[in-house]
Amino acid sequence: MKNIVKTFRPAYKGNYRPFRAPFTFCLLITSLFCFTVVAETANAATYYCDPVDGNTVTNNGSIESPWGSLESLKTTGTYVNSNYGKWEDGTIQDGDTIKLMSGYHGTFVVDNLWDSDAYNGEDRFGHFKNRNLLDNITVEAANGEDPNLMWISITDDNWTLRGLTVSPNYAPGGIQPHSGGYDSIIQFAGDNIVVEDCNTWSVEKTWAGDSNNWATYQYAGIRMDPKLSNNCIIRNNTIKNVYYGFFIGPNSLAEGNLVQYFSLDAITLDGPNTIVQDNKLLDYIPGEQHSDGIQIKYGRGENITIQRNYINGRTDPNRNCDSTYGLQGIFIQAAGEVSGVIQNNVVLVTSSAHGITLNDTPNPNCQTWPKDLAIVNNTVLQIYANGTEAWADDTWPNIIVAADPDRTISNVVVRNNIADVFPSGTGITASNNFDISNYTPANEFVDYESGNVQLVSGSSFIDAGISTDAPAIDILGVSRVFPPDAGCYEYISGTPDTTPPSTPQNLNAQAVSKSQIDLSWDISNDPESGISYYKIYRDNNQIDTSVSASYSDTNLASETNYSYKVS
């Protein structure tokens, strides 16, 4: 059967880019600027929803005759114990895409009913009766459109949400008070869920002169249920003015997200084999307890990767966010083994707060067991919350590695970090770490007060690390020169290449046979360094490189969906 090719809009919405992209120095094609192309079987279709001019009852869902709002695709009542309308009557099939036009689309709920007879008392939702109501469904903004929703909840597998703006402020009659801070703007429980390029926010004002409204109306951002979700992606989203940013569960990826103005934790991680990278976590809101940039609390932490994240509790040096509690950096109280890497992170904490901490105090709910863990090339500093220039004191910020009393630390490496206090003892190898209280910030960093902790010429930390266990690149993707610099930035002498390659434009795909898809795109430009090659990705995995602006992917399976990216 002949394949149909459809081209989606860029993966990065508007002007937002992951924090490291605008500062990529030497690597020619390391930025993740990409377009996505999906080659699908002829059975897959694209439908359009227009809440302003569409009609779900009389129209066929084409771009010329769009349905109404996304919410209107269901019949009356809720999804629980009701007819699913277009979702259940056979109109929408596996692999279909729903493109949304600008306007208000209401709420979107997909509830794969759980079987109460099979409820085991451990899974909160029991077992799904009909796992996979539909497979591989994409709901995304149409090109150039800005669809708005009040709330999204998905309890099913294999869904993609892309380019949507979701806020309880869009509710008819205005935002309603939350029920305790854990009402999530986007929530899901299922495998293979992708949430990317979405914009979520709670209230328009945060702490500035509106503390009462902030406390009443702050909602949470994105919640992935760690007990019922696996192999999910939360990528390139903007999450602002929220209680917490998002939860990420097992075997999943969180990258390129911006979380700004949060009063609890920016990212909560729960599950093994999870990657948290290239996120920008900014500006905690003072509250009744401390905040964490990245946290594991009573969850699992085997084979985790936490890298190239920028955590800054106060981006405005003049903003007074002084309180009893401050922002902590990376805080881990796990339910067992913690292994993997924590590397190339900037952690700028406020007040007296932890920098990178494993199991600070014994807790009956966790048995943290650090083993086979590398904590390397992190920059961990303190910025006072009241806007006064300050430097680290004799205690904070620190890197702590401790275990449950019944566990023994083993094979933990702490190297090439800049902080104040470092761990030692059985099972810990610590070397080439630098106590920041012995140095003067103006001599080491570009602009410490404003949160720019890149190294200046003559910094004591240049070439001060050791090669063993050091990552090959720094937080910006710059290749490290060995011996590497200490901290998360590698100093580059001379005039660096600060301009990333231009985005590959007009990526097209043509299914020339049942087993081959040909890709082509407009060439990229980099006036400072030039372009040496392009990286080709199929289904988010790099498959090859190309020195020209074309590529043929062969030996493919027919009747199969493929997603392509070029960077």
In 3D, which of 281, 283, 284 has the Cα closest to residue 309?
A: 281
pLDDT-based confidence at 205, cuts 50/70/90?
A: low
Q: Are 35 and 323 in contact (CB under 8 A)?
A: no
Give DSSP secondary structure letters for 336-397: SEEEEEEES-EEEEESS--SEEE--S--TT---EEEEEEEES-EEEEE-TTS------SS-S
Mean pLDDT score of the chain: 77
Report the C-alpha gap between 426 and 424 in whole angstroms: 7
Mean pLDDT is highest, among 29-43, 210-224, 381-395, for 210-224
Tell me whether the omega of the peptide bond preceding residue 397 falls within 30 degrees of 0, making it cis: yes
CA-based diameter of the chain, in Å? 73
Give the pLDDT of residue 36.
40
95 HSE (CA, 13 A, CB side): 17
Closest to 167 (Cα-Cα) out of 98, 105, 100, 215: 105
Q: What is the pLDDT of residue 119?
A: 37
Which DSSP symbol is given to 503?
A: P
| Tokens representing residue 204 in the block | 């328009």
Token look-up 């964490």 returns 292
Q: How confident is the model at residue 129 (pLDDT cuts 50, 70, 90)?
A: very low
Say how many C-beta atoms besides its own lie within 10 A of residue 129's C-beta: 13
Chain position carrying tokens 């009462």: 212
342-366 core/surface letters (b: 16 or more CB in 10 A; e: else): bbbbbbbbbbbbbbbbbbeeeeeeb
What's the pLDDT tens digit per position in 220-247? 899 998 888 899 999 999 999 888 899 9
Q: Which residue has the higher pLDDT, 452 or 561?
A: 452
Mean pLDDT across the stretch 295-314?
89
Token pair 């999943």 is found at: 252
pLDDT given at position 304: 94
Order of strands across the sheet that contains 165-166? 103-104, 147-149, 165-166, 199-201, 238-242, 258-262, 280-284, 310-312, 346-350, 379-383, 418-419, 434-435
153-176 residue pLDDT tens = 888 888 999 999 999 888 887 777
Q: pLDDT per residue over 258-281, tens digit each?
A: 999 888 899 999 889 999 999 999
Q: Comparing C-alpha atoms, which of 134, 145, 78 is closest to residue 107?
A: 78
Q: Is the confidence at residue 534, as pLDDT, over 60?
A: yes
Query: What's the pLDDT score for residue 336?
Result: 81
User: Measured between alpha carbons, how far is 323 from 132 in angstroms, rounded to an integer?
Assistant: 47
- Angle at Cα 14 formed by Cα 8 and Cα 15, nearest 5°? 135
The span from the CA of 195 to the CA of 422, in Å, is: 37
Q: Look at residues 562, 498, 19, 537 and name the one whose alpha carbon lies nearest to residue 257.
A: 19
Amino acid at 164: L
Mean pLDDT of 69-96: 62
Say which range, 197-201, 254-258, 292-296, 405-409, has the weakest mean pLDDT.
405-409
Question: Whole-model pTM?
Answer: 0.78
In this model, does residue 441 exceed pLDDT 60? Answer: yes
Q: What is the DSSP letter of 557?
A: P
CA distance 154 to 29: 35
Q: How many residues does the chain have?
A: 567
| Range with top average pLDDT, 137-146, 309-318, 541-550 | 137-146
Of 67-81, 241-255, 315-329, where does the model show the most confidence? 241-255
Q: Buried b vs exposed e over 299-313: b needs ≥16 C-beta within 10 Å?
A: bbbbbbebbbbbbbb
With residue 46 as reference, give the H or E element that holds it: strand 46-49
The H-assigned helical ranges of 288-352 are none
Give 21-77 pLDDT, tens digit per residue: 222 222 232 333 333 444 444 468 999 999 999 998 889 999 999 999 998 887 333
Most confident stretch, 123-132, 359-368, 457-466: 457-466
